[in-house]
Amino acid sequence: MDNALWKQRRVLVTGPTGFLGSWIVQYLVAAGADVVGIVRDWVPSANLFYSGHYPKITTIRGDVADSRLLERVLGEYEIDTVFHLAAQSIVPIANRNPLSTFESNIRGTWSLLEACRRSPLVKRIVVASSDKAYGEQKILPYNEETPLQGVHPYDVSKSCADLLCRAYFVTYQLPVCVTRCGNFYGGGDLNMNRIVPGTIRSILNNQAPVIRSNGLLVRDYFYIEDGAAAYLMLAEKMEALHLAGEAFNFSNEHPVSVIDVVNRVLHLMGSSLQPNVLNAPEAAHEIREQYLSAKKAHRVLGWKPLFDLDAGLRKTISWYQQYFAAGRKIFGKP
């Protein structure tokens, strides 16, 4: 990370209380950036508060779908760099309530892009897409030339947001890049329906971890600190390498099944519990295999991850052990 580049730079982070957002804020604050965050919902248990970084940034309450708010924030705070991370990111919620997902993920993205187009001081924008934007493909791993063809609500929302970024670059030369990452895991994820934090909490409570699917779904699992570092590296190199309009996959390139991840966590925590595999009907809408090639990021950016799966899981387990010990009442019993 180039601390000199970020020192006193004015940066907007949408979704700073979210999983990825909280880690990017930590890195930016440590580098001396002036960070402004747009927050819709107040979540006192969020990692941004737990880490102690909330008082170190300027917080604006509002919705990223509010274009007038975005234009005001970009202008009044003289924002130079934008990380657009705010989204409804839970697949089962998107399936149950697609309209709120479309509102946040699609309208929120076009509102942000349009506000940036009207703001002459904005020099770089990094937008969080997802491997889900590719939809289901016959050829794996996905590379950046793979067509975007989401079918289910969350996947469609990410395909649309991704294409909006491309449109704003091609039509208006907006300096925007897109990231497509695998499944993030690590300390600070408050969604206990996700497999890694849910499994850790179950083990700490001496209860069998629950797998909603049949356990055979294959995914990339990408440690959150590697993800945050990748976002910052991309933003740092956008201008010098003329990367506006480009998309980048970030991944460890070691896909594993859900059941394998759960068993690794059980092993690392020294637990003899056995997972409860539900094979629930709602999991039928999830894609069987999704994983990414990060060759472009290696070649163009010189990027590489620092953590393999076991190293990342060890850090993650330690984080949750400390977190629950300090504030178990936040989540209570599952």
In the 8-state DSSP scheme, what is residue 301? I
Annotated active-site residue 154? The verdict is yes
Which helix (H) or strand (E) element contains residue 53? Answer: none
pLDDT higher than 90, residue 133: yes
* Closest C-alpha among 105, 150, 43, 21 to residue 97: 105
Give the pLDDT mean for 276-288: 80
Give the whole-angstrom CA distance, residue 334 versus residue 331.
Answer: 7
How far is the C-alpha of 47 from the C-alpha of 326, rounded, in Å?
Answer: 13
List, in order of start, the domains of the chain with CATH numbers. 3-186+220-250 (3.40.50.720), 195-217+254-288+310-330 (3.90.25.10)
Higher pLDDT, 246 or 47: 246
- Give the pLDDT band of residue 3 (cuts 50, 70, 90): confident
Beta strands 218-219 and 256-257, pairing class: antiparallel
What is the CA angle 88-185-38, rounded to 5? 40
Residue 313 · residue 254 · CB < 8 Å: no
pLDDT of residue 91: 82
The contacts of residue 270 (CB under 8 Å, 6+ apart) are none
Q: Would you say residue 329 has pLDDT above 60?
A: no
CA gap 312, 128 in Å, rounded: 21
For 161-218, how does the pLDDT look when each residue is reduced to its tens digit (9 = 90+)? Answer: 999 999 999 999 999 999 999 999 999 998 898 999 999 999 999 999 999 899 999 9
Q: Rounded to an integer, what distance in angstroms lies between the CA atom of residue 304 and that of residue 296?
A: 11
Q: Which of 27, 142, 154, 185 is catalytic?
A: 154
pLDDT in the model for residue 138: 92
Question: Do 156 and 150 meet the contact criterion of CB atoms below 8 Å apart?
Answer: yes
**Residue 161 in contact with residue 148, Cβ under 8 Å?**
no
Say what the pTM is: 0.94
Give the model confidence (pLDDT) of 209-223 as tens digits: 999 899 999 999 999
CA distance 113 to 74: 11
Distance CA 299, CA 315 (A): 28
Measured in whole angstroms, how far is the alpha carbon of residue 22 from the centre of its chain?
10
- CA-closest candidate to residue 7, choices 29, 37, 36: 29
Which range (46-55, 74-83, 96-105) has the least confidence?
46-55
Mean pLDDT of the region 304-326: 95
Asked if residue 283 has pLDDT above 90, the reply is no
Residue 278's nearest CA partner among 297, 253, 259 is: 259
Across 262-266, 295-299, 322-326, least confident range: 322-326
pLDDT band at 4 (very low <50, low <70, confident <90, very high): confident
For the chain, the farthest-separated pair of C-alpha atoms sits apart, in whole angstroms, at: 58
User: What pLDDT, in 10s, does the model give residues 31-67?
Assistant: 999 999 999 888 877 888 888 888 999 999 999 999 9
